[in-house]
Chain A
Amino acid sequence: MIGYGLSDDQKMYQKTARDFARDVIRPASEHHDKTGEYPWEILTKAWELGLLNTMVPAEYGGLGLGALEACILSEEMAWGCTGIGTAMEANQLATAPLIMFGTDEQKKKYLGMLVDSLKDDGTPHMAAYCVTEPGAGSDVQGVKTRAIKDGDVYRISGQKMWITNGAKASWYFVLAYTDQDAGYRGLTGFIVDADSPGIEVGRKEINLGQKASDTRSISFDNVEVPAENVLGGKEGGGWAQAMGAFDKSRPIVASAAVGLARAAFEHARAYSLERTTFGKPIAHHQAVSFMLADMAMNIQAARHLVWESAWLHDQGERNTKQAAFAKAFAADMAVKVASDAVQVYGGYGYSTEYPVEKLYRDAKIFQIYEGTSQIQRVIISREILREA
């Protein structure tokens, strides 16, 4: 049985998120894009409304919402600003391996920390997912970070790169080799307190888009981590944990691409009804109206792929193929829609005085982070050929 309606609860979550994005995120979006200032104030308000860490299970003090609800919320946040939205959603990515694979004690301590209370300075605890390195992004098995067992502790050394919330997180999920010779079976996932001695956080990276988001390199120099912080207590389980987390988080990232595209489409549609050329609003030139039709169609198609992949995950079913469908399609779609929105605006679209050039800059990352568009196709082709 297929049903496409949201439940009353989901509609209420959506409304809160939509109002919050409209009233709080969007008005602040330009400021954070221009200054690159981290949106602590917005994150604090979002935390108070329960918009952060929505998937933390109820037994650890969270709301225990599903991936589908997370997607509904993330589309709205991203409609407001994907830079601010990414700072929020990075917690969902960092917590995903814990929720799926952590021990009871680990969940109590580290998931509880995020939802229980604010920090002494009144801001929420953030978390970060540390897998990518300067020399290894898509090729996760190419990471060089090592964790050497030393009695009751592990000592981690290595460098991570482009870590969202890198300087703002209270703890990290870190992937490192405990046994280099064992291939992917030698990778282990750790939970690392951000204030551990030996951690050095780099300067804020200045990126093309999503400037509100904090992205940094993090170096680990002989960082001591207690053995009880091996995720799930399972040495050698890191690969499955890091990859498994994507089944939960990829639909959320894809839904953010949908939110960005929706914003671009709405701007383009409104402008096309105002701006006249050759005696009529440009929306009534068929070349432009067809662009708008394609935008609307592809946004809706992406949203359905996102919802299906999230729904499957919430049913406890494997969604690797569908999550890759959603992520690849939504990312490519968002880049195209944002580019076309700039096109509809013409010369104004290229100007920073108008809202669409930011969306164009912000959109590109969706084809890169959380698995590039190429890696998604690797995953999809592997899945469909296995089904043959």
Chain B
Amino acid sequence: MKILTTVKRVTDPDMKVKIKPDQTGVVTDGVEYKMNSFDEYGVEEAIKLKEAHGGEIVVVSVGPSAATKEIRTAMAMGADRGILVETDEDLDSDAVARVLAEVIRRESPDIVVMGKQAVDSDRNQTGQILASYLDYPQATFAYSLEVADGWATVGREVDGGTATKRVKLPAIITADLRLNEPRYASLPGIMKAKRKPLETLTPSDLGVDTANKVNVLLFEAPEEREAGEIVEDIDTLIDRLKNKAKVL
């Protein structure tokens, strides 16, 4: 079974985000980068699929040359080879999906498992757009995944509970945080990852025009909230909710 998974290099979500003074983006100086946490679930699930069914895991990233580190991390966890589609541009979800669609056409994997959203842009779009470009079925927000006889049975997180869906492979599966517990990249794994094959391409190698359809005009910090108040007792709390917040 050939499994394709994707990783995005994102700013460390544990760090405080600051907006650039010219409002063109967020400050990236001195910021740490890591693999998007939802992609960790995707990589882990890819490894579990390989453990159960055998085969090969290809890990793909669309991003700057430094994203090699995130690909190596996935390889250290257990992916077999990597593809970096190198670009320094900040692509919208549609452009990323166009690039990934081309990689997937070339690789023709049996299944694609990816994160449900990136924790930096928070868009939750790439997997779905990708499925439409490839005309693959999709199962988003997966909390469980079983593969048998060319079909995937996916437990999905939906509003109000869960739902189960069966999709014919190849399909796009996007991982939710309950899907699994991602393993650590072991130190021997990190050393072995250096010797695994990593191919670097550009969008133009793939013949993909990466012009964004969505243009970001400016970034603004969220409005600062008024300082809160610690109240003495329930009566004061109810008074404040009635007379100050006016929600009761």
Contacts and interface: CB of A to CB of B under 8 A. Distances in A.
Interface residues of B, number: 15
B192 to A, nearest CB: 11
A9 B186 contact: no
B242 to A, nearest CB: 26
B191 to A, nearest CB: 6
Interface string A128-167: 0000000000000000000000000000000000000000
A13 B69 CA distance: 12
A63 B185 CA distance: 14
B188 interface: yes
A63 B72 contact: no
A13 B34 CA distance: 13
A8 B186 contact: no
A16 interface: yes
Nearest to B193: A12
Interface in A181-229: none
A100 interface: no
Contacts of A20: 184
Interface in B164-218: 184-191, 194
B218 to A, nearest CB: 29
A19 interface: yes
Nearest to B73: A12
Contacts of A37: none
A119 interface: no
B30 to A, nearest CB: 12
B57 interface: no
A195 B73 CA distance: 41
A15 B190 CA distance: 11
A49 B187 contact: yes
A15 B189 CA distance: 13
Interface string A101-113: 0000000000000
B186 A13 contact: no
B224 to A, nearest CB: 15
A16 B186 contact: yes
Contacts of A9: 190-191, 194
Contact of B188 (A11, A15, A19, A63): A63
Which interface residue of B69, B190, B194 has the most chain A CB atoms within 10 A?
B190
Contact of B72 (A12, A19, A49, A54): A12
A48 interface: yes
**Chain A interface category by residue count:** 10 to 19
A287 to B, nearest CB: 23
Interface in B47-88: 68-69, 72-73, 76
Nearest to A65: B187
| Interface majority SS (helix, strand, loop, mixed), chain A | helix
A50 interface: yes
A48 B188 CA distance: 10
A50 B186 CA distance: 6
Interface string A27-51: 0000000000000000000001111
A141 B162 CA distance: 70
A16 B68 contact: no
A15 B34 contact: yes
A11 B70 CA distance: 11
A276 to B, nearest CB: 10
A20 B186 CA distance: 10
A54 B190 CA distance: 13
Which interface residue of A8, A51, A54 has the most chain B CB atoms within 10 A?
A8
B76 A12 contact: yes
B184 to A, nearest CB: 5
B231 to A, nearest CB: 15
A8 B68 CA distance: 9
Contacts of A13: 187, 190
Contact of B186 (A11, A48, A65): A48
Nearest to B230: A276
A298 B69 CA distance: 30
A48 B187 CA distance: 9
Which interface residue of B34, B187, B191 has the most chain A CB atoms within 10 A?
B187
A20 B184 CA distance: 8
Contacts of B190: 9, 12-13, 16
Contacts of A48: 186
Nearest to A20: B184
A356 B68 CA distance: 39
Nearest to B188: A50
B69 A49 contact: no
Contacts of B186: 16, 48-50
Contacts of A19: 184
A51 B187 contact: yes
A16 B69 contact: no
A382 B157 CA distance: 67
B185 A12 contact: yes
27 contacts: A8-B68, A8-B69, A8-B72, A9-B191, A9-B194, A12-B69, A12-B72, A12-B73, A12-B185, A12-B190, A13-B187, A13-B190, A15-B73, A15-B185, A16-B186, A16-B187, A16-B190, A49-B184, A49-B186, A49-B187, A50-B186, A50-B187, A50-B188, A50-B189, A51-B187, A63-B187, A63-B188
Interface of B: 34, 68-69, 72-73, 76, 184-191, 194
Interface of A: 8-9, 11-13, 15-16, 19-20, 48-51, 54, 63, 65
Given A16-B185, A16-B186, A49-B184, 11 more contacts: A8-B69, A8-B72, A9-B191, A9-B194, A12-B185, A13-B190, A16-B184, A16-B187, A50-B186, A54-B187, A63-B188
